[in-house]
Amino acid sequence: MDAGRLLKSINDIMSDEEVLALQSHFQKISTAYNEVQPNSNIVDSERESIKQALVDSSLINYVRSDYEILEALGATEYFGEESFSKLNEILRGEPHTIKTELADFVRERQELLGNFVKMKASFDAFDIKPRELDNGNYQFGFTLPDSYRDFISLETVLKDIHQLLSAVAHAVKEPADFKISYVSSSELQFYINVVQSFAANMTVLLDCALRLYGSYGMYNDLQEKFGIFSSTARKKQAVQITEEDKAERAKDFAEQLIKELGIETPDDQNRVRILFARFLRHMEKGVGAEIRTPSITVPEDPAEDATPQERNTVKQLKQDYQRKVEIDTKNKAIYMLQKNNFDGVKLDFLEAVSKEKITEIKVKKASVKRRRKHT
């Protein structure tokens, strides 16, 4: 784990506590349940306060690798949006357990905060700095599984990702001067600084890639069920149909990607299709990717006596902020897609495949029976 990223997460948690006073709200709910008859007005009011406060949480735009840091700290369900989910889970529990579980939750959360204070002091003693994204920098990051630790596999994936980034940059007329910002060797994580507009394009790419990757898992699950077929021919036919549909689905996602990125020339389109397919093969082997965004405050409106240049500057800052919000929104959707084990993709898949392709299998089986009957 990268020490700078770890310290940043600790700083974010402590900043939330200082600004949002979340522990105080949790404590008030716990105290309310210490009464013989819990005051529902206090509970509802404090729940709403927590919900509203978390909108401004420093953790609100975390990506998957950030959540993995929280998980390593044992902090996932105590901070950020997950803490509100945990609170609701406790309050939905059996009446006789709520009081004890709330008290345990508040106590454990306070213990973690105390541990983070000590950890931060240790980091400060060694002059370790948090790894922040500043000056409007964005990062495209990718994580490699242990199977990529041999030199040939590592060289191949780095080359394929670099070619994909370069192809997309060329197609959307962005600079392709990519430099690795930092590497975490413990988990083979690579991060590359990119400009905001390119980060937006890569978020579109990752969304398409993950939705397709999620449907790939469904195809694999479906093919495993073909073992129920007693006939080898029927099983082979079913596998062939799903493989054809899988290829068609991949083609559709590639076309969707090209359309959303606005890639116009046939050469650029073909190159992106090929490199996108290579990237998907790496994802099937466990390669993960994400976009990290910087912290940007909401720009204030210009003063009444602002000059035209100052007004233009504020206008640009507001546009940059809005684009960041759009990237963060897409990032959140991507994270939830992964967190929920691609449930949304599975629903789309089952609707598109189970109704149509399984019907197609039945139609082809009926056709085979008719041909056998006539012969």
Starting from the edge strand earliest in sequence, which strands make up the sheet with 180-184, in order? 180-184, 189-194, 138-143, 288-292
Asked if residue 166 and residue 266 are part of one domain, the reply reads yes
Residue 349 lies in a domain: yes
Helices 3-20 and 64-72, interaxial angle, to 10°?
A: 80
Domain finish residue from 59, 94, 125? 125
Residue 370 lies in a domain: no
Share of the chain above pLDDT 70, in %: 85
* Nearby residues of 271 by Cβ (< 8 Å), 6 or more positions away: 167, 171
Half-sphere exposure of 331 (CA within 13 A, CB side): 28
Residue 375 lies in a domain: no
CA nearest neighbour of 16 among 46, 70, 64, 60: 60
Asked if residue 143 and residue 107 are part of one domain, the reply reads no
> How far is it, in rounded angstroms, from Cα 183 to Cα 188?
7
Radius of gyration of the chain (CA): 25
> How far is it, in rounded angstroms, from Cα 139 to Cα 193?
4
Asked if residue 152 and residue 115 are part of one domain, the reply reads no
CB-CB contact of 133 with 294 (8 Å): yes
Question: What pLDDT does 337 receive?
Answer: 74
Query: Average pLDDT for residues 52-68, to the nearest whole number?
Result: 90
pLDDT band at 362 (very low <50, low <70, confident <90, very high): very low
Which residue carries 């009446």 as its tokens?
Answer: 95
Residue 296: pLDDT above 90? no
Domain finish residue from 78, 97, 125? 125
Question: Three-class SS string for the chain?
Answer: CCHHHHHHHHHHHHHHHHHHCHHHHHHHHHHHCCCCCCCHHHHHHHHHHHHHHHCCCCCCCCCHHHHHHHHHCCCHHHCCHHHHHHHHHHHCCCHHHHHHHHHHHHHHHHHHHHHHHHHHHHHHHCCCCCCCCCCCCEEEEEECCHHHCCHHHHHHHHHHHHHHHHHHHHHCCCCCCCCEEEEECCCCEEEEEECHHHHHHHHHHHHHHHHHHHHHHHHHHHHHHHHHCCCHHHHHHHHHHHHHHHHHHHHHHHHHHHHHHCCCCHHHHHHHHHHHHHHHHHHHCCCEEEEECCCCCCCCCCCCCCCHHHHHHHHHHHHHHHHHHHHHHHHHHHHHHHHCCCHHHHHHHHHHHHCCHHHHHHHHHHHHHHHHHHC
Residue 374 lies in a domain: no
Asked if residue 71 and residue 15 are part of one domain, the reply reads yes
Q: Give tens-digit pLDDT for 12-55.
A: 999 999 999 999 999 999 999 988 788 889 999 999 999 999 98
Asked if residue 157 and residue 108 are part of one domain, the reply reads no
Q: In which domain, by residue range, is 26 found?
A: 3-125
Asked if residue 177 and residue 255 are part of one domain, the reply reads yes
Triad 45, 55, 66: Cα angle to 5°: 130
Asked if residue 56 and residue 203 are part of one domain, the reply reads no
Residue 373 lies in a domain: no
Asked if residue 27 and residue 98 are part of one domain, the reply reads yes
Q: Give tens-digit pLDDT for 253-279.
A: 889 999 999 999 999 999 999 999 999
Question: What pLDDT does 115 receive?
Answer: 96
pTM: 0.79
Query: Average pLDDT for residues 291-303, to the nearest whole number?
Result: 87
> How far is it, in rounded angstroms, from Cα 210 to Cα 214?
6
Residue 258 lies in a domain: yes
Asked if residue 321 and residue 208 are part of one domain, the reply reads yes
Half-sphere exposure of 147 (CA within 13 A, CB side): 7
Query: Average pLDDT for residues 360-370, to the nearest whole number?
Result: 45
* Nearby residues of 311 by Cβ (< 8 Å), 6 or more positions away: 302
Asked if residue 220 and residue 360 are part of one domain, the reply reads yes
Strand duo 180-184 + 138-143: pairing: unpaired
Domain finish residue from 93, 125, 157? 125
> How far is it, in rounded angstroms, from Cα 117 to Cα 105?
19
Q: How would you classify residue 173: left for phi > 0, otherwise alpha for psi between -120 and 50, otherwise beta?
A: left
Question: What pLDDT does 258 receive?
Answer: 93
Asked if residue 318 and residue 267 are part of one domain, the reply reads yes
Q: Give tens-digit pLDDT for 95-117.
A: 889 999 999 999 999 999 999 99
Q: Give tens-digit pLDDT for 335-360.
A: 877 776 655 555 554 455 444 444 44
Residue 184 lies in a domain: yes
Residue 341 lies in a domain: yes
Number of domain units in the chain? 2
Asked if residue 195 and residue 92 are part of one domain, the reply reads no
Q: Which residues of 213-236 are buried (b: 16+ CB within 10 A; e: fewer)?
A: bbbbebbeebeeeeeebeeeebee
Q: Phi and psi dihedrals of 266, rounded to 5?
A: -60, -40
Q: Give tens-digit pLDDT for 145-201.
A: 999 989 999 999 999 999 999 999 999 998 888 888 888 877 789 999 999 999 999
